Structure 1
């Protein structure tokens, strides 16, 4: 099977879309899939071949059809779907959030390349991205000043996120009912209910579901700057969520309920209801993340963020 990040990432996104279909349903055309997954026709053909090989799809009546619903075991691990640059970004963010870095500390690109076992080019590209978001400031002699993940940083980040996400909801509302995004939203809504029904067992599944929901909304904008920003938000969330699992269940329960209210507002297509539910959820997320940072600064065990 084709073993690269583009293929595996596209394959996982395709599984998410197939999850909104019923067994026996016809698959979209190769060109429609290529457009929806943002990959080449060649990659789509490799994805379709792998789906058929795994028994997820089948040829029937001259059409490709869904043979069975995809399961979590069908997906490639997240680490395998990331490019070298994206892999480093996640490792670097985790290092920032779990290490002993202090605001005002200087970082050296060459030393980071040796520490993480990657090229200086990859390091510089990543550091430049974090500079764009205000986490780092470039200094002479290949050094970078770490600004720190502070309460002010989080407040500014969520202020921008609110603007971007509310704009993205308008893009979603412009889509017809038949658009794949609405089918995916329906599937995600059911997954929220399933987790709530088995919260003791499944609450740890929430972070990935959270990212899928918000990413679907952001992707409707087809705006590279919006998506680039959300990638940093999602990376920050995933690592802060892991800081302390002691209260993960009630945090997940709160977020799941807020998500269901948000999804209901989206499905109603009522702009006022969408605005209210989106702002409420993001305010909760911002406040929880700030509490997480404050607790992290005073004790090794702290609450994670619900985004």
Structure 2
């Protein structure tokens, strides 16, 4: 499972790198791609073989070239690129956020293990992680109390997110111009501009673009605690964002524009500009999340006490 996730993650990153090349362009060597994508030569060979099989990459005279520009359907779903543990945690959190769970409801570890087809040990480890974030509290008889996604919780988690992300930007701008993160940033910028150019059709693609941008910034730290924290934040954002569909197009347009300003600041390597753009965008994201929670609470009369 882990190896499969590594392959799919490398495959998606390779697609994003190829997306800004014109058809017919020659690909870098296997060694160059492996280095740029931070994967092994064995994995990059498997990625390139899959790209050839899908007609995205061709080979002539021993040289690979781009046959067609990759599109979104060519990518593996983001959840498939996660490690087994991270994938399960995301599945569980998605299940909580997509369901009709409200603060005060109880979850049973044994029942969850049967439902998800996994061991109670895996379930308990997952629940313990969410207990650390304050989402759950342990109760007797293998039960867990769901505390709910509240406005207070969001404000607290965004305080930590701001601190971590500002720290991550310092690591990001310390990378040399030749580092793969800067090339990845260029691809992400193009994705943002493409969504803005066809906003009426593509605004729903924003959450995925949002996660790609913030993830490469957080991962630049190499700090497992910061990266682990962002995995939870990303899932919370994706699913609570869907609770409020009012003005979704305009909210996506605002966030995409703020992202482009943020990217410009990163390229400037000016700490003051980065600090200002980062804080501004995170304030907007926090307000969006709070608005989604309030909308969900207002449309669920029997559970109006979700907010604290």
In structure 1, the partner of 2:28 is 27
In structure 1, the partner of 2:70 is 70
Provide the rounded CA distance (Å) in 2 between the counterparts of 1:297 and 1:219: 34
State the SS of the aligned residue for 1:118: coil
CA contact (8 A) 1:127 1:136 kept: yes
Provide the rounded CA distance (Å) in 2 between the counterparts of 1:106 and 1:44: 45
CA contact (8 A) 1:20 1:184 kept: no
Provide the rounded CA distance (Å) in 2 between the counterparts of 1:76 and 1:96: 23
In structure 2, the partner of 1:219 is 219
1:37 Cα deviation (Å)? 4.5
State the SS of the aligned residue for 2:103: coil
State the SS of the aligned residue for 1:128: helix
In structure 2, the partner of 1:107 is 107
In structure 2, the partner of 1:144 is 144
Per-residue CA deviations over 1:211-256 (Å, capped at 9, x if unaligned) read 1111111111111111111110110111112223332101101101
State the SS of the aligned residue for 1:70: coil
In structure 2, the partner of 1:178 is 178
In structure 2, the partner of 1:305 is none
Counterparts of 1:37-48 in structure 2 under 5 Å?
37=37, 39-48=39-48
Task: Check 1:95–1:62 CA distance in 2 against 1; reply closer, same or farther (3 A cut).
Answer: closer
Provide the rounded CA distance (Å) in 2 between the counterparts of 1:62 and 1:112: 52
Structure 1 gap segments, 5+ residues each:
302-307
Provide the rounded CA distance (Å) in 2 between the counterparts of 1:28 and 1:227: 30
Q: Which moved more, 1:53-62 or 1:222-231?
A: 53-62
State the SS of the aligned residue for 1:215: helix
Provide the rounded CA distance (Å) in 2 between the counterparts of 1:244 and 1:103: 19
CA contact (8 A) 1:27 1:66 kept: no
1:68 Cα deviation (Å)? 3.8
Q: Which moved more, 1:57-66 or 1:246-255?
A: 57-66
Number of aligned positions between the proteins:
298
State the SS of the aligned residue for 2:295: helix
After superposition, the CA RMSD in angstroms is 2.5
State the SS of the aligned residue for 1:101: coil
Structure 2 gap segments, 5+ residues each:
302-308
Per-residue CA deviations over 1:84-125 (Å, capped at 9, x if unaligned) read 544432332233224343334332100112233333233122
CA contact (8 A) 2:22 2:69 kept: yes
CA contact (8 A) 1:16 1:184 kept: yes
- Provide the TM-score with structure 2 as the length reference: 0.86
State the SS of the aligned residue for 2:148: coil
State the SS of the aligned residue for 2:7: helix
Provide the rounded CA distance (Å) in 2 between the counterparts of 1:162 and 1:107: 31
- Provide the TM-score with structure 1 as the length reference: 0.86
1:42 Cα deviation (Å)? 3.0
Task: Check 1:79–1:188 CA distance in 2 against 1; reply closer, same or farther (3 A cut).
Answer: closer
Q: Which moved more, 1:62-71 or 1:209-218?
A: 62-71
In structure 1, the partner of 2:56 is 56
Question: Is the aligned partner of 1:162 residue 2:189?
Answer: no
1:298 Cα deviation (Å)? 1.7
In structure 1, the partner of 2:298 is 298
Task: Check 1:100–1:198 CA distance in 2 against 1; reply closer, same or farther (3 A cut).
Answer: closer
State the SS of the aligned residue for 1:145: strand
1:164 Cα deviation (Å)? 1.0
Per-residue CA deviations over 1:192-223 (Å, capped at 9, x if unaligned) read 22222221111111111111111111111111
CA contact (8 A) 2:30 2:44 kept: no
